[in-house]
Structure 1
């Protein structure tokens, strides 16, 4: 009998790409979505369920029904900038929901491999590629919530022997991502300008920060590779291993635009606290799973623009 794979937060950006990957060779997939949401991608043969992950008993009952052997836990609030104004929602979505998930597994006696999606923003910033052994010192409510989420997964492994896999994901971008994030925000603005619906001005926040950006389709392949062979209870950087200055990212998008566009900085787009440099070293992930990123950055930019031009 085929094992049941559960994807929480499956209706969202990363969930849609993970479902597209998993449905190629996985027959029994259950996808959880938050009440009031609709999936970006339905997925062939995927069985959908609406589960409020802030309801402890509802989570336990849903786990009892499906008895998953593999869980990709994507549910949560993903935005660093929004976390300053939505701190309570951020901690509930990232910490409390994760606690209820592992609590439900423990009470039901289930021990699936559970991948949680943490973030590079748990690290204390340094001006070099980050290793998993580097100090953690998050500088935002989002980063703090993700560090707490990691601790829940690690405690579940140490105390309950539920294999918690910790993916410290660096910035990942691609089609279907919310334009509140920098790369899709640029792509949407350019598509709107090309359609003649806005003046030819690209409004940006901080252009000097440097980010490790990777195609989301590579990111979900890393998650699957971790599920197959990563070691529970230790973090793995999911990163491209390179970084780009946001100004250079803007220039690359503009080079693919169909009309001339100028850039203006918008003070409203600056964060209260920003990390100047963020780049990851994925050596541990590659050594343990064989995964490496493969999608050229220019293709990601072209696909993002194509997506927003079609909207």
Structure 2
């Protein structure tokens, strides 16, 4: 039986991961969920408190749970939040990864660690405009991406010492439950509030010219589960991009959401939201995930944005 320890389980991806694990494994799995603070979760049940920055606490959690797999979701989700507090970002991302890697090597050396990084580690290499494969140069463009890249590289080095680590690099993903700190739910929240009569029918936007690679969070969660199920067949240190391979202009994403709106909405530029991007296009190549895991995206993009908009309609109604 798989014994899976999930860090950061209370976050956006956590719920979708729990559902994907249960769909794939049924009763043949034991899931232990942890987060910064303890609580009850509709998908996991009880969540234990675990401060990923506390090396002793991490080591104790590994000893207590004796996992066969650790899926490491814990981190600072929004790049803007990480960049506003870079020291915390480094402590959480690099320090947390080191704490987990060292604890697993010492107390559960047969355990597989699935580290969830980010496609933003490729940074300025994306200026080529070409799809980024796992062998693309790491050139992070901000503190968030740099701290994630450092964790990725540190665990890669530890895999040479025996750590059974798989390094996952997901590109942008969205879905129900995501914070409006991200572009698709930010648009969706404004539309839902306008529809509900809470705001004037004007949607304020920033830079619409950038192109990004978007996935449905449910496809991403399924990729993580497939990586866990296939971990024995993957070499320690394996890197897998999780990406759609399709660049989408932010303006086109907005147009698709507005087409789903129940009323006509005007779009207005907001200087406070205008952050010109040095990386006009970021798109990933996920051929390795397809070959190694048999994974490819299943959710249509329009279904994803419709789900996000419906989620914000529900949230707006109950507030």
Per the normalisation by structure 2, the TM-score is 0.92
The alpha-carbon deviation at position 97 of structure 1 amounts to 1.1
The answer on whether the counterparts of 1:6 and 1:30 sit within 8 Å (CA) in structure 2 is yes
1:157-188 Cα deviation digits (max 9, x unpaired): 111x1211011110000000110100011111
Q: State the distance in 1 between where 2:42 and 2:235 align.
A: 31
Q: Secondary structure at the match of 1:102?
A: helix
The alpha-carbon deviation at position 234 of structure 1 amounts to 2.7
The answer on whether the counterparts of 1:83 and 1:140 sit within 8 Å (CA) in structure 2 is no
The answer on whether the counterparts of 2:39 and 2:46 sit within 8 Å (CA) in structure 1 is no
The answer on whether the counterparts of 2:39 and 2:47 sit within 8 Å (CA) in structure 1 is no
Picking from 264, 282, 302, the partner of 2:268 is 264
Q: State the distance in 1 between where 2:170 and 2:106 align.
A: 29
Q: State the distance in 2 between where 1:262 and 1:47 align.
A: 44
Q: Structure 1, unaligned stretches of length 5 or more?
A: none
The alpha-carbon deviation at position 271 of structure 1 amounts to 4.0
The answer on whether the counterparts of 1:23 and 1:43 sit within 8 Å (CA) in structure 2 is no
Q: State the distance in 2 between where 1:177 and 1:286 align.
A: 26
The alpha-carbon deviation at position 213 of structure 1 amounts to 0.3
Q: Does structure 1 residue 100 correspond to structure 2 residue 75?
A: no
Q: State the distance in 2 between where 1:49 and 1:233 align.
A: 28
Q: Structure 2, unaligned stretches of length 5 or more?
A: none
Higher mean C-alpha displacement, 271-280 vs 188-197: 271-280
Change (3 A) 1:205 1:231: farther
The answer on whether the counterparts of 1:139 and 1:273 sit within 8 Å (CA) in structure 2 is no
Q: State the distance in 2 between where 1:189 and 1:271 align.
A: 19
Change (3 A) 1:250 1:59: same
Picking from 233, 236, 241, the partner of 1:237 is 241
The Cα RMSD (Å) is: 1.6
The equivalent residue for 2:198 is 197
Higher mean C-alpha displacement, 147-156 vs 167-176: 147-156
Change (3 A) 1:109 1:218: closer
The equivalent residue for 2:51 is 52
Per the normalisation by structure 1, the TM-score is 0.94
The equivalent residue for 1:210 is 211
The equivalent residue for 2:223 is 222
1:134-173 matched pairs, under 5 angstroms: 134-159=136-161, 161-173=162-174
Change (3 A) 1:272 1:104: farther
Higher mean C-alpha displacement, 244-253 vs 94-103: 94-103
The answer on whether the counterparts of 1:118 and 1:168 sit within 8 Å (CA) in structure 2 is yes
1:210-244 Cα deviation digits (max 9, x unpaired): 00001000001111112222433132110011110
